[in-house]
């Protein structure tokens, strides 16, 4: 997205930022992890201009991070689902969230926890091959700083109904 060359650098961080380093791109991926799937859901959640959202969704599909899946023939409509490449962004997004919680939030708006015992989990450096948790074993839940009237992250992506 930044479309810059880093001459003489062999840096995976720079190459990754070329794909996901733009603000809207990361927030779209965050919302996809939170269950949003449809264009209007992303647009409402982010308040992003429709043309910018269209460009970012197309970029993420072209890069193999999201997959466009038809859910209606008439009218023809698509939703966006994370691919394996997209799901692999859970750890970096979790690390960003942790950093923001530590340095930018009085109270964390969300908490990532293990589904089986509800214990909070963190992104951490672990030895390769050790028993790290997989994405399906964790869930994001409201934290002490959650503001339901402002945040839309609790949506399950299936409809526009807010929880009671």
At 138 the three-state DSSP class reads strand
* Rounded mean pLDDT, 23-46: 95
Domain range holding 120?
A: 12-142
CA distance linking residue 66 with residue 137, whole number of Å? 21
Tens of pLDDT along 141-153? 888 887 765 555 4
Residue 155 lies in a domain: no
Residue 148 lies in a domain: no
CA distance linking residue 125 with residue 18, whole number of Å? 24
Number of structural domains found in the chain: 1
The pTM of the full predicted model, rounded to 2 decimals, is 0.80
Q: Residue 136's domain is classified under what CATH number?
A: 1.10.10.10
Tens of pLDDT along 90-112? 999 999 999 999 999 999 888 89
């Amino acid at each position: 997205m930044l479309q810059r060359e880093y001459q003489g650098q062999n840096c995976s961080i720079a190459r990754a930022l070329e794909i996901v380093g733009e603000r809207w791109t990361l927030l779209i991926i965050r919302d996809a992890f939170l269950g949003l799937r449809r264009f209007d859901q992303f647009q409402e959640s982010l308040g992003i201009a429709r043309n910018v959202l269209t460009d970012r969704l197309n970029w993420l599909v072209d890069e193999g991070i999201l997959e466009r899946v038809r859910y209606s023939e008439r009218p023809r409509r698509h939703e966006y689902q994370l691919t394996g490449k997209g799901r692999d962004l859970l750890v970096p997004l979790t690390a960003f969230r942790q950093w923001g919680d530590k340095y930018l939030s009085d109270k964390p708006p969300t908490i990532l926890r293990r589904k089986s015992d509800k214990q909070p989990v963190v992104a951490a450096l672990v030895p390769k091959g050790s028993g790290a948790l997989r994405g399906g074993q964790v869930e994001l839940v409201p934290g002490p700083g959650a503001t339901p009237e402002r945040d839309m992250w609790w949506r399950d992506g299936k409809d526009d109904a807010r929880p009671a």
